[in-house]
Structure 1
Amino acid sequence: MTAKVGVILIHGLGGTQYDLGSMHKILQKAGADTHAVTLPGHGTRPEDLIPIRAEQWIDLVVAQYRELQPQYEQLHVMGMCMGALLALAVCERVGHTAQQGKLVTLAPPIYIDGWSTPWYAGLRSLFYLIPGVASRMKVEEGEPFGIKNTLVRAVVKAKFERGDNFHYRWVPMACIRQVDRLRSWASAGAKNIKAPTLIVHAREDELTSLRSAEYLQASIPDARTVVLENSYHMICVDNDRDQVANSVLEFFGFPPMPERARKRMRGAVAEEKNDNAQS
């Protein structure tokens, strides 16, 4: 009898499940139940992030984990970007073990030091100290949108221009402070992670360098790292998305995607690009 497998998928800051590309469908086709979370302050408007604290994000995922865990023989936890930090923090808090499931961190930003990081980014801690400034300051989402593939980047740009509610165009500085708190917790708690962990990171990630993957690899007792050679930060939708998907499938014990499925995924991206060009 096949083991019943569930996967919790956690999106990134300002994002939605789009951050994870086709991972939901891919895992479902492999035989897993997928469970998405919509983090507090997300899916509405950027201003709703201003009062949110990192503890609210963690509490939501912990509650879902505790509700789902008894239902599965294996419950895996996977997060993208800030979602990877949350996945680390949650797995440490609940004591997630190899018997309960595995952990996947996709582009985890332990360090904010990628090639596009502006020189003044390190000064943000000063803005946190000035009353009201962090709530008023906007951190804009701009090109390359974390995407190296020019076709996919054009699709994302068109979605932003249409005002599609798939990702915030900006986030308040106040919630960057909460991400910094998460980074600190994830960094300090990595040594306490008990579950086998997969770290997937792009060499050219413009937000967070390979130092993040190397830190987690050295800190987590049972970890393995996959380095991608042809993507930026949004690895689930970029050039190496098939490699990401197959790395996750293999780690969870599923067979790889059939080649025809990969071709369908590429065709769907091209079709959406044509639709955008005609609209």
Structure 2
Amino acid sequence: MPAEPKPQSPKHHEDAAPFLLRPSTPRGAGILLVHGFSATPQEMRLFGEALCDQGYTVLAILLPGHGTSPQDLATKRYEDWLEATEAGYRELKQEESQIFGLGLSTGALLLLALAARVEVAGLVLLSPYLKLRHRFASSAWLLRHFKPYHHRPLAPEAALRYYERRPLNGVHQIHRLIGHLRPLLMKITTPTLAINGSGDQTIRVESGQSLLMSLGSRHKEYHLYGPEVPHVLCTEENPRWRSVLALSLQFLEGRQNDSAPAPADGHREP
């Protein structure tokens, strides 16, 4: 009898690949980009290129189960995502000694969990949350056994970056991640900027501010945009993406200056 073929690892879509961008004029810092649930690094491309233009070395990772198939994502746990986030940090640390994190939605939560483990110079949290908006989201742990996937229609261009079928086990993993994070928030002291849009139909927007207020960070900034701003803040889908980028750059530059080593006389340059 012929041997059974070995199972193959899921193949990634071409535009789902992680990317590393090195600036022509480095400013001595790296930024780890982490995309959201059911998305790909392409979600972070616009901001990644803009950050690189400003002198940052940029690494956008691909979370396990993403960029392959909904069936693949259904097998993953939040621990797999967090492990990939830390691996990305370690990779970027080989390029730059000072590392910042910028994440969207669930990517923001993963960066917070990372900051509880390693030293991060600053965090930009786009659409952070502690509660999802869908009324059945908290029951995903049970519903996943009866209805494995939630279907949502997507425009053809969006279907290149997101899954139309999202596994409910993934939503369950998000709730597990939030449960992991809650007792850690007061212990996280990383300077943090959090941004939400009140037009967000995915999360409970007020929980984003609650998350920030729960952090142990001395330096915390919060910005809430109006109803014209959706959940995804870092693509052209957001009419205010340029403003979000400007806020992010201002925060990053300020934190890089704050953490720069002081000269021998003990004074920083103005």
Scaled to the shorter chain, the TM-score interval is: 0.7 to 0.9
Structure-2-length-normalised TM-score: 0.77
Q: Tell me which amino acid in the other structure corresponds to 2:244.
A: V
Structure 1 CA distance for aligned equivalents of residues 31 and 248 of structure 2: 11
Q: Match for residue 260 of structure 1?
A: none
Q: 1:2 to 1:126 in 2, by over 3 A?
A: closer
Q: Are 1:19 and 2:43 an aligned pair?
A: yes
The answer to whether the 8 A contact 1:6-1:34 is kept is: yes
Q: Match for residue 74 of structure 2?
A: 50
The answer to whether the 8 A contact 1:3-1:73 is kept is: no
Q: 1:125 to 1:41 in 2, by over 3 A?
A: closer
Unpaired runs of 5+ in structure 2? 1-24, 255-270
Larger gyration radius, structure 1 or structure 2:
2
Q: 1:194 to 1:36 in 2, by over 3 A?
A: same
The answer to whether the 8 A contact 1:109-1:207 is kept is: no
Q: Match for residue 8 of structure 1?
A: 32
Q: Match for residue 4 of structure 2?
A: none
The answer to whether the 8 A contact 2:229-2:239 is kept is: yes
Q: Match for residue 227 of structure 1?
A: 224
Q: Tell me which amino acid in the other structure corresponds to 2:117.
A: R
The answer to whether the 8 A contact 2:78-2:177 is kept is: yes
Structure having the higher helix fraction is 1
Structure-1-length-normalised TM-score: 0.74
Q: 1:65: Cα distance to partner?
A: 1.2
Q: Tell me which amino acid in the other structure corresponds to 1:75.
A: I
The answer to whether the 8 A contact 1:201-1:210 is kept is: yes
Q: 1:5: Cα distance to partner?
A: 1.2
Q: Tell me which amino acid in the other structure corresponds to 2:180.
A: W
Is the partner of 1:71 in helix, strand or coil? coil
Q: How does 1:35-114 map onto structure 2 within 5 Å?
A: 35-94=59-118, 96-97=119-120, 101-113=121-133
Cα offsets for 1:57-106 (capped at 9, x unmatched): 11111122123225324210111011011011111122x25xxx211111
The answer to whether the 8 A contact 1:213-1:225 is kept is: no
Q: How does 1:167-206 map onto structure 2 within 5 Å?
A: 167-206=162-201
The answer to whether the 8 A contact 2:150-2:165 is kept is: yes
The answer to whether the 8 A contact 2:212-2:220 is kept is: yes
Unpaired runs of 5+ in structure 1? 143-155, 255-279
- Bigger relative CO (Cα 8 Å, ≥ 6 apart): 1
Percent sequence identity is 26
Is the partner of 2:160 in helix, strand or coil? coil
Q: Tell me which amino acid in the other structure corresponds to 2:220.
A: A
Q: 1:42: Cα distance to partner?
A: 0.9
Q: 1:228 to 1:18 in 2, by over 3 A?
A: farther
The answer to whether the 8 A contact 1:77-1:102 is kept is: yes
Is the partner of 1:42 in helix, strand or coil? coil
Is the partner of 2:231 in helix, strand or coil? coil
Q: 1:21: Cα distance to partner?
A: 5.2
Q: Match for residue 205 of structure 2?
A: 210
Q: Match for residue 137 of structure 2?
A: 121
Q: Are 1:159 and 2:157 an aligned pair?
A: yes
Q: Tell me which amino acid in the other structure corresponds to 1:138.
A: Y
The answer to whether the 8 A contact 1:46-1:172 is kept is: yes
Q: 1:2: Cα distance to partner?
A: 6.5
